[in-house]
Structure 1
Amino acid sequence: MNRRLALAVDVAARHGIAQRLADGSRTLYDRLTAALTAWVAAARRDDLTGWRAALGPILRLALLGALAYGAYRAARAAPWLMWLAAGAWTLAAWRTGAREETPVEEPETTPEEHSAEAAVALLREVLRDRPAVHLSEVLTHLQKHGQGEGWKVADLRVRLEALGIPVAPRVKVGRIPTRGVRAADLDRHFPTRETSPSPTDVDAA
């Protein structure tokens, strides 16, 4: 009986370790993907048009490709580098998984802090004068300011839609189509003084 119990405890411990590594790896991958996507998209020039506007993202994509190829050649030349990289990733995933396992006590907040107005203000801040923004860029902005820790793009989308903020499935920013928010949709659903409908439009509606 004791042997069976010890075996069950050992299996449970191994499962917990594997789950922690899996959760940490998934979070690291999502963060890295979101950060790289936002970094590439941020290079687009809004003051230019055509291929000149997209030249920045293209150059950054080329740089990422060159770095990936360089890492591949280095690993082929020195296979021990793969073990080093795997060890570093495992350690980072383990630490990230530990932070996810620890319950975070959220401070008491007022309804205004979770209101649609606060979310719209944040989106307008990230949008600046651009017509649209990817959710990955918004999430990166949040996490840089100590918010949305451990969130994925899907988590952000669910929260925005729960507040009545429209999220488009394919928004092009820097020629990269993915989920995002359009400034026109914000103006239509949450008009400011500058974007509020004129009396004629109200009467016509």
Structure 2
Amino acid sequence: MTRLARTADRVATGSQIAIRRVAARAAAWCARGRRDDLTGWRAALGCWLRLALLALGGYLLWRLVRAVPNLLWLLTAGWLVAAWRAGRKAPAPAAEDAPAEPDVEAVRALLLEAMGDADAVHLRTVLAHLQERGQGKGWTVADLRARLEALHIPVQPKVKVPGSKSPTRGVRRADLAPSPAVAEEASRASSTAA
């Protein structure tokens, strides 16, 4: 890979990471507007207000760029710097002798272990659980979510866990049903035992 290709790859990867981080932070900020002391649509008014503020900020930025087009050069330079920095922390491309992708069943077992007796677990709890074991160093919740979705493990946008103040991204026990191959093996084992 040439130096120019490596640079472009780092900026592209960094842009993806930066977009996920900005979106995750905006979504978390909007979700914190939900009030627990109210129910129904009134509880979500804070979320809608924060979403409207984000939309208004985007509109005002667009109007500012339309009024002063040279500002776009500064915004582009700022974005490139942010993408370059985020791309530096991105995992290196997999080498041929790198370990294989994690087994889906092992990841499900890890999620169930982090979940304990609860019906769901937040991704930040899973990430802390991984980092206690010396894995996932430097990962963010968005990185963990992307890896889980790549393994086809459903991540729900709003999961409420007992003891937490607000719902956030997480995994539910009901979504961690064993894969068809494991279920087929279990049924074969029970039929041979009978």
TM-score by length of 2: 0.58
Q: How does 1:49-68 map to 2 (within 5 A)?
A: 49-68=39-58
1:68-110: per-residue Cα shift (whole Å, max 9, x none)? 111111111111111101000101111221222569xxxxxxx
Matches within 5 A, 1:43-192: 43-100=33-90, 115-116=110-111, 119-120=114-115, 138-139=123-124, 142=127, 148-149=139-140, 151-157=143-149, 161=153, 167=154, 180-182=170-172, 185=174
SS in 2 for 1:151: helix
Is the 1:44–1:57 Cα contact (8 Å) retained in structure 2? yes
Higher helix share: 1
- Contact 1:43–1:56 (Cα < 8 Å) also in 2: yes
Which 5+ residue runs of structure 2 have no aligned equivalent? 94-108, 132-136, 161-167, 176-194
Q: CA deviation at 1:47?
A: 2.3
2-structure distance, mates of 1:148, 1:41: 22
**Counterpart contact for 1:171–1:181, Cα < 8 Å:** no
Per-residue CA deviations over 1:127-168 (Å, capped at 9, x if unaligned) read: xxxx978x6xx359959x97524715221456895xxxxx46
SS at structure 2 position matched to 1:48: coil
Q: Post-superposition shift, 1:117?
A: 6.1
Any runs of at least 4 consecutive aligned residues in structure 1 with deviations exceeding 3 A, and if so which?
114-118, 138-143, 156-161, 167-173, 178-182
How many residues are paired up?
Answer: 148
Greater CA drift, 18-27 or 44-53: 44-53
Long gaps (5+) in structure 1? 1-8, 104-113, 125-130, 162-166, 187-205
